[in-house]
A and B are shown apart, each in its own frame.
Chain A
Amino acid sequence: MSEHRRQILQMLAENKITADEAERLISACEQSTATPPVSAGEPEAKNRPKYLRVQVDSEDEGAHDGPTKVNVRVPMQLLRAGVRLAGLIPASALRQANNAMHEHGIPIDLSQIKPENLEDLVEQLSDLTVDVDQKDATTKVKVRVFCE
């Protein structure tokens, strides 16, 4: 019996936790031991996405020209470089942009966004998938944004 399981059963015996809580904790322990540990470095780098893809399928049912398809593939490196470019915006321009956004009711302070935050944002894009399906009387639009 593992140490964690023994502790959970001990807590149950001492009425510190209920039977339901003990069951949940034991199942959580089992899941964590069943999952193989991810070794840092190489496998993570292998799974790192290389491209941001945007696919749009649009079909106008009134027209007989068939669907329109748009397929855009942007390297993630380009996004990262673009983010670094955004970090070069001078402070005076940021102040003007902040004022303009505040006037339009958007309370975002762009000067608080640092290049490292944007780097993190691009890193997290790997988990991003956006699916939009819109269908009305005449048109059917499907948009997919994902990383690969």
Chain B
Amino acid sequence: MIPFVAVVSLRNRESRTFRVWIPLLLVWLLLLPIAVVLTPFIFIACLICRVNPFRGAAVLWQIVWALNDTQFEVEHRSAGMSFHIL
């Protein structure tokens, strides 16, 4: 399943935590028309670089699909940050 939400947490020195939920679904929906408009140009660029555009699209789709559950955390006494794709 493609990721729907990314959660970014920031903690400051006073242990106050700010949590931002980014709806990735909206990002995908916004990117979709842009991708459709850019498709012919990407196709031509792929042909110039001798890359199979269909294979490239498939791999990009696999990368987006596999982003689920990626987590990155940095913790320090004075601050902390975490990024989690759900």
Q: Once bound together, how far apart are the Cα atoms of A74 and B70, in whole Å?
A: 5
> Please, which residues of chain A bring their CB within 8 A of the CB of B55?
88
Total contacting residues, chain A, CB less than 8 A: 24
Q: Point out the residues of chain B lying under 8 angstroms from A69, CB to CB.
A: 73-76
Q: Is the interface of B mostly helix, strand, loop or mixed?
A: mixed
Does residue A107 face the partner (Cβ distance < 8 Å to B)?
no
For the complex, give the distance between the alpha carbons of A51 and B52 in Å. Answer: 29
Q: What are the residues of chain A within 8 A of B74 when measuring CB–CB?
A: 68-71
Q: How far is the CB of A133 from chain B (nearest CB, A)?
A: 19
Instruction: List A contacts of B52 (CB < 8 A).
Output: 88
Q: Does B49 contact A (CB under 8 A)?
A: yes
Q: How far is the CB of A25 from chain B (nearest CB, A)?
A: 47
- Interface magnitude class on chain B: 20 to 34
Q: Are B70 and A75 in contact (CB under 8 A)?
A: yes
Does A73 touch B at the CB level, under 8 Å? yes
* Residues in chain A near residue B77, CB distance under 8 A: 65-67
Whether B73 pairs with A81 at a CB distance below 8 angstroms is no
Q: Which residue of A lies closest to B64 (CB)?
A: A81
Beyond A73-B70, A75-B68, is A82–B75 a contact (Cβ under 8 Å)? no
Interface centre among A66, A67, A81 (most CB of B within 10 A): A81
- Cβ proximity bits A34-75 to B, threshold 8 Å, 1 near / 0 not: 000000000000000001000000000000011111111111
